[in-house]
Chain A
């Protein structure tokens, strides 16, 4: 009976990617010089589970590669090999290669075998050399082999401990092909004996015009890891011996007679048990759920919130004998609704470690490339965020962390000269604060250079030649489009596409980003995000006969102004003093073309709001209430409205518009008259 296994492929891929993640994270910890046996075990188990699954489902290349990997890990686990920097680099590269292989297989694309073959060879080499006491040093490939597909067929690794590294030189005469010999066939036969690496020498190849197509201009260098005797190798070349010059020499390490590790059995017969073991290693009591199912749940809960608000309004107006029971029933319902809402929101929440996990590797590789020493400290990775927020916060965070390594942290010599530790530190913290998530990225590098920023801003015409800005305003300049003080655009950062996109991405998530910095001491970026995107805590405002909503996360304070607090400045604009700055007043009725109930500032209220690093005061007729509102898209059926981010449905079924504070602030600064 044949079972159709393709239905399990998705689970296999998901679990394999997870296994790779845990392998990588354990490898990074290993790299710090602590050969913790538990970490090696974790890595071994991850490779083993991928091997089992891939063989069950017929992904032969992955199975074969992970088999070699597992053998090497076995040597490490049993302490027959020590963890060296070379080996851990090799293992990290294997993770990358496996990711690519899994990705290709998942997408149904053929696996690109070149890098796999090279890496597999290097792994096997280390295993072999272990027995012969030679320090492992994988040799790089010099030129592409004649047929990379070769290693795919029959690259079964035999008892590595007894294998020998043979070097074979094959130099055919020009009539090699004319006699009907196909070198690929020969290589295929050799590959059956062990692990083969083929390097073609193309030096004798003349130009197309001078070439005679039937002649052979190629020669090959081969390396074969096999436990087969020399006679078996020479036998493969029997038929062509006369037409070429062949040399077969044993490489470093004569055949070993000491009993090494017991020969690993050939690929175990694939059983469903291997796949089941992989599944069983999951935490008990968790299931995978499609995102659409959760989104549907959230939509329905959203509708419930609106219906509840409607019923609530109606029940306010109900009198009579049943009124009391009705009111207390509605209160109970409200409590239940709130609980349901919170529970459903939590279903979509994932720990931020999902995003943070890629940073240790990224920082390590980047620091290496830039010749800096950087230590990354992560805190609060269990902090949970809504899945959509998580997906969109990744890129901005990557950009910020890269900036820290690239521009923030100085080279070790510069740091030492400044009296700092040669190793720079980047702190990455996430925590809940009130109804928001706060993410902090802090470094002890050189900090923002205010003079450079001002000079650049002046050069770009963003700041007038005599204009003076406070330190805080100078720092805000980095968020302007096209702004970058990097002299050279590295492929890491500095393309000027950065900070403004970071800020607008965060603004799209209804969040905000602030920066603090001290010259010579370091910089600190603080990102604040709401817990969820679907529902927002809103303040209802009345402007004329319309109701608008401003998100609570953007509001600072509301107040009634007296005429003495307001100053009119040039162009008819009005400002008022708030704490220690002067803020412009935006009369919302003018922005939206409505007839207001209050025209005089002291007849209405001013709500101070914050966005894009700036604050303004919104003049409205009245504050109505504060409530949670479900965000409904305006853009699906209509389009973008300036100053408005989305819409919502109030308890009475009518539509209210939600203000886009950042946009309003931008509009205010472009307008001639308030």
Chain B
């Protein structure tokens, strides 16, 4: 069954940052990426899901760190000097939200055209299934494109509408 293209009509290529987790290559839209930094110890958060490692101080802002490798089902994860955190920003109902994703390493920035993106096959509820927005083949390599908004929506505690407690001054 053919699906209509999920991308807007703009035929202009968009840029994607690719990174590696295990044997697979993933990609996120460049405009969401704030920075890439090396691994540093995080402060643990009580009662957080297993893949939310904790929070980090990023130039004065408290940013939660999510280990994508755990999220996608890896069991044996290392934190080495080349382990990388990709800090992304998404727009939510309450304004821009930042969080960091731990990955094994970053690769290139590639250009992709919307028409090259194929819809992802149904993967069920297993790791990564619900935040994939499509697949694209680049130079023989399959890149799994991720939708950051879906990732943050599932991971972090919802701040309900009635919750308007302390804001930092």
**B80 located at the interface, meaning its Cβ lies under 8 Å from any Cβ of chain A in the complex:** no
Most buried by B among A637, A639, A646, A654: A637
Inter-subunit contact A655/B56 (CB<8 Å) = yes
Inter-subunit contact A636/B169 (CB<8 Å) = no
Instruction: Indicate whether A593 sits within 8 Å of B61 (C-beta atoms), given known contacts A646-B168, A654-B41.
Output: no
Determine how close the nearest CB of chain A comes to the CB of B6; give it in whole angstroms.
28
Interface size classification for chain A: 35 or more
Contacts of A641 in B (CB 8 A): 45-48, 157
**A644 located at the interface, meaning its Cβ lies under 8 Å from any Cβ of chain B in the complex:** yes
Instruction: Indicate whether A633 sits within 8 Å of B62 (C-beta atoms), given known contacts A534-B168, A638-B156, A655-B43.
Output: yes
Inter-subunit contact B43/A654 (CB<8 Å) = yes
Inter-subunit contact A637/B99 (CB<8 Å) = yes
Inter-subunit contact B169/A647 (CB<8 Å) = no
**A81 located at the interface, meaning its Cβ lies under 8 Å from any Cβ of chain B in the complex:** no
Chain B 29-47 near chain A by CB (<8 Å), digits 1 or 0:
0000000000001111111
Residue from the list B42, B99, B169 in contact with A295, Cβ < 8 A:
B169
Inter-subunit contact B55/A647 (CB<8 Å) = yes
Determine how close the nearest CB of chain A comes to the CB of B135; give it in whole angstroms.
29
Look across to chain A and name the residue whose beta carbon is closest to the beta carbon of B52: A638
Contacts of B98 in A (CB 8 A): 637
**B163 located at the interface, meaning its Cβ lies under 8 Å from any Cβ of chain A in the complex:** yes
**A298 located at the interface, meaning its Cβ lies under 8 Å from any Cβ of chain B in the complex:** yes
Inter-subunit contact A634/B47 (CB<8 Å) = no
Task: Provide the bound-state CA to CA distance between A546 and B45, in Å.
Answer: 10
Task: Provide the bound-state CA to CA distance between A636 and B93, in Å.
Answer: 11
Determine how close the nearest CB of chain A comes to the CB of B89; give it in whole angstroms.
9
Contacts of A646 in B (CB 8 A): 166, 168
Number of A-B contacts (CB under 8 A): 105
Inter-subunit contact B62/A655 (CB<8 Å) = yes
Inter-subunit contact B57/A637 (CB<8 Å) = no
Residue from the list A637, A640, A656 in contact with B163, Cβ < 8 A:
A640
Most buried by A among B62, B156, B157, B163: B62
Query: Restricting to A638-674, which residues have a CB under 8 Å from any CB of B?
Result: 638-647, 649, 653-657
Look across to chain B and name the residue whose beta carbon is closest to the beta carbon of A591: B46
Look across to chain A and name the residue whose beta carbon is closest to the beta carbon of B43: A655
Contacts of A636 in B (CB 8 A): 61-62, 94-95, 97, 167-168
Contacts of A637 in B (CB 8 A): 61-64, 97-99
Task: Provide the bound-state CA to CA distance between A636 and B43, in Å.
Answer: 17
Task: Provide the bound-state CA to CA distance between A453 and B167, in Å.
Answer: 35
Look across to chain A and name the residue whose beta carbon is closest to the beta carbon of B156: A639
Determine how close the nearest CB of chain A comes to the CB of B97; give it in whole angstroms.
5
**A306 located at the interface, meaning its Cβ lies under 8 Å from any Cβ of chain B in the complex:** yes
**A337 located at the interface, meaning its Cβ lies under 8 Å from any Cβ of chain B in the complex:** no
Most buried by A among B48, B98, B168: B168
Task: Provide the bound-state CA to CA distance between A592 and B45, in Å.
Answer: 8
Inter-subunit contact A638/B169 (CB<8 Å) = no
Instruction: Indicate whether A656 sits within 8 Å of B158 (C-beta atoms), given known contacts A631-B166, A633-B62, A645-B166.
Output: no
Inter-subunit contact A593/B55 (CB<8 Å) = no
Determine how close the nearest CB of chain A comes to the CB of B153; give it in whole angstroms.
12
Contacts of B43 in A (CB 8 A): 546, 647, 654-657
**A277 located at the interface, meaning its Cβ lies under 8 Å from any Cβ of chain B in the complex:** no
Contacts of A632 in B (CB 8 A): 60-62, 168
Contacts of B166 in A (CB 8 A): 508, 533, 631, 633, 635, 645-646
Inter-subunit contact B159/A649 (CB<8 Å) = no
Determine how close the nearest CB of chain A comes to the CB of B99; give it in whole angstroms.
6
Contacts of A534 in B (CB 8 A): 168-169
**A414 located at the interface, meaning its Cβ lies under 8 Å from any Cβ of chain B in the complex:** no
Task: Provide the bound-state CA to CA distance between A649 and B168, in Å.
Answer: 13
**B165 located at the interface, meaning its Cβ lies under 8 Å from any Cβ of chain A in the complex:** yes
Task: Provide the bound-state CA to CA distance between A649 and B43, in Å.
Answer: 11
**A324 located at the interface, meaning its Cβ lies under 8 Å from any Cβ of chain B in the complex:** no
Residue from the list A298, A306, A634 in contact with B62, Cβ < 8 A:
A634
Contacts of B41 in A (CB 8 A): 654
**A382 located at the interface, meaning its Cβ lies under 8 Å from any Cβ of chain B in the complex:** no
Contacts of A645 in B (CB 8 A): 165-166
Look across to chain B and name the residue whose beta carbon is closest to the beta carbon of A388: B169
Chain B 137-169 near chain A by CB (<8 Å), digits 1 or 0:
000000000000000000011110001011111
Query: Restricting to A365-396, which residues have a CB under 8 Å from any CB of B?
Result: 388
Inter-subunit contact A639/B158 (CB<8 Å) = yes
Task: Provide the bound-state CA to CA distance between A433 and B148, in Å.
Answer: 49
Can you name 10 A-B residue pairings with CB atoms under 8 Å? A295-B169, A302-B60, A508-B165, A593-B46, A632-B168, A634-B55, A637-B62, A637-B97, A638-B157, A654-B41
Show the binding face of A for B, using Cβ within 8 Å: 295, 298-299, 302-303, 306, 388, 508, 532-534, 546, 591-594, 631-647, 649, 653-657
Taking A637-B98, A647-B55 as given, write out 20 further A-B residue pairs in contact, using a Cβ cutoff of 8 Å, ordered by the A residue number.
A298-B169, A388-B169, A532-B169, A592-B44, A593-B46, A631-B169, A632-B60, A632-B61, A634-B62, A638-B45, A638-B156, A640-B157, A640-B159, A641-B46, A641-B48, A642-B47, A646-B168, A649-B60, A654-B57, A655-B56
Show the binding face of B for A, using Cβ within 8 Å: 41-48, 54-57, 60-64, 94-95, 97-99, 156-159, 163, 165-169
